[in-house]
Amino acid sequence: MADRVTIVDVAARAGVAISSASSALNNRPGVSEATRLRVRAAADDLRYVPSLRGKSLSSKRAFAVGLVLNRDPDVLESDPFFGGFLGGIVSVLDSHGYALVLQMGEGPEATLDRYRRLAADRRVDGVFLSELVVDDPRIALLDALHLPAVAINADTPFPFPAVRQDHRPAVFELVDYLLGEGHQTIAHVTGPRQYIHARQREDAWRDALTSADVVVGPTVEGDFTFEGGRRAARELLGRVDSPTAVFCGNDLTAIGFMSEAREMGVRIPEDVSVSGYDGIEMGSYFQPMLTTLRTSPHHIGAESARMLVDVVRGAAMEDSTIEPAELIIRGSTSRARTSL
């Protein structure tokens, strides 16, 4: 393969200095229009592609951002949120010439190490901060590492710019709908309570009931998994005062809940109305189909990528809120059973 065309070649062909060529190509001021055009033409002729490596070294930027998933590497397999999220991220990054570096850490310490390494290697210019937990140790770390970040569904206020999808209106809508259908006891299966988004959903559910002057139903702490949903069903449906409706922290949990309920001989929605959160495809694979609050992983990913690119370019960003989650009523919820 012929030697790579460099800016030296372009400058030579255009008959200008390297520095002028650089300025011209990067649309920096201080170059006459004539020169700019000449350099452009030369670059085109030579099919010049700037070297990311040279650029990186001298400009001290990586033109890449990182995403570290704090998870068992195989959880991605069962959590469909990340597919859309990743898709949204890369589609935006791509159009800005940025790349996504994907990392995974099993357990909190391993995850922190990934960030340390990304920073030490200067592998990325910034990172996404997702799946936030209470007192998340990554906040202090990123701060110490001087690594710019954009948070996803963070609490407010938050030390980094954040993109949020408002979940509250939809949760309120769901609760109102269930109350309207005659449900008196609406239970909630939470996610792991260290997760901020798990708490946000629980809080919204509680607030919705409280503001409707209805007694707050029982809760079970789940873990956002199918199996966790099954456990929750055994726990909630075994009791005499079992709820007539349950709002699960995510769809996977709701699906597990329905599965176990069915095995216990509890009918859905006749005996218990079940709803989830996420709006994953899988929810429509079951009969009855799952009532859920649909989020927009792709959009969240795209918006956070847009923000992160701005942030690493030095723009001061304010938080961004995308369209709220949306209530999707389907077959798994209906009027409350009248007799216990």
Partner DNA sequence: TTGAAAGCGCTACCAA
Partner DNA sequence: TTGGTAGCGCTTTCAA
Contact residues toward its own copies (CB under 8 A) are: 1, 49, 51-54, 56-57, 60, 62, 64, 72-84, 86-88, 90-91, 94, 99-104, 114, 120-123, 146, 226, 255-256, 259, 262-263, 280-282, 285-287, 297-298
Nearest to 290 by CA among 272, 310, 308: 272
Judged by beta carbon, residue 30 or residue 157, the one nearer DNA is 30
Options 58, 156, 287, 338; binder of DNA; rule CB under 7 A: 58
Options 55, 116, 206, 298; binder of DNA; rule CB under 7 A: 55
**Binding track over 15-54 against DNA, x by CB under 7 A:** xxxxxx-xx-xx-xxxxx-xx------------x-xx-xx
Cis peptide bond upstream of 288, omega within 30: yes
d(CA 183, CA 97): 52
Judged by beta carbon, residue 15 or residue 137, the one nearer DNA is 15
Judged by beta carbon, residue 136 or residue 260, the one nearer its own copies is 260
Nearest to 66 by CA among 112, 110, 114: 114
Task: Give the CA dihedral 165, 167, 169, 173, nearest 10 degrees.
Answer: 140
* Span interacting with DNA, options 14-22, 76-84, 137-145, 272-280, rule CB under 7 A: 14-22
Nearest to 332 by CA among 256, 221, 238, 224: 256
Partner whose footprint covers residue 22, from DNA, its own copies, none (CB < 5 to 8 Å by kind) = DNA
Rounded to the nearest whole angstrom, what is the least distance from the CB of residue 40 to DNA in the complex?
12
Rounded to the nearest whole angstrom, what is the least distance from the CB of residue 100 to its own copies in the complex?
5
Region class of 167: left (phi > 0), else alpha (psi between -120 and 50), else beta: alpha
Read off φ and ψ for residue 90, nearest 5 degrees: -65, -30
d(CA 242, CA 218): 9
Judged by beta carbon, residue 123 or residue 206, the one nearer DNA is 123
Under rule CB under 7 A, residue 233 binds DNA: no
d(CA 325, CA 315): 28
Read off φ and ψ for residue 102, nearest 5 degrees: -105, 130
Partner whose footprint covers residue 88, from its own copies, DNA, none (CB < 5 to 8 Å by kind) = its own copies
Judged by beta carbon, residue 18 or residue 144, the one nearer DNA is 18
Point out which residues pair with 187 in neighbouring strands: 246
**250 contacts 276 by C-beta, under 8 angstroms:** yes
Rounded to the nearest whole angstrom, what is the least distance from the CB of residue 74 to its own copies in the complex?
5
Judged by beta carbon, residue 74 or residue 203, the one nearer its own copies is 74
Contacts of 116 (CB under 8 A, 6+ apart): 141, 145
Rounded to the nearest whole angstrom, what is the least distance from the CB of residue 98 to DNA in the complex?
15
Partner whose footprint covers residue 32, from its own copies, DNA, none (CB < 5 to 8 Å by kind) = DNA
Query: Distance between the two ends of the chain, CA-based, in angstroms?
Result: 78
Judged by beta carbon, residue 17 or residue 144, the one nearer its own copies is 144
Partner whose footprint covers residue 83, from DNA, its own copies, none (CB < 5 to 8 Å by kind) = its own copies
Contacts of 287 (CB under 8 A, 6+ apart): 331
Rounded to the nearest whole angstrom, what is the least distance from the CB of residue 49 to its own copies in the complex?
5
Residues near DNA (CB under 7 A) are: 3-4, 6-8, 15-20, 22-23, 25-26, 28-32, 34-35, 48, 50-51, 53-55, 57-60
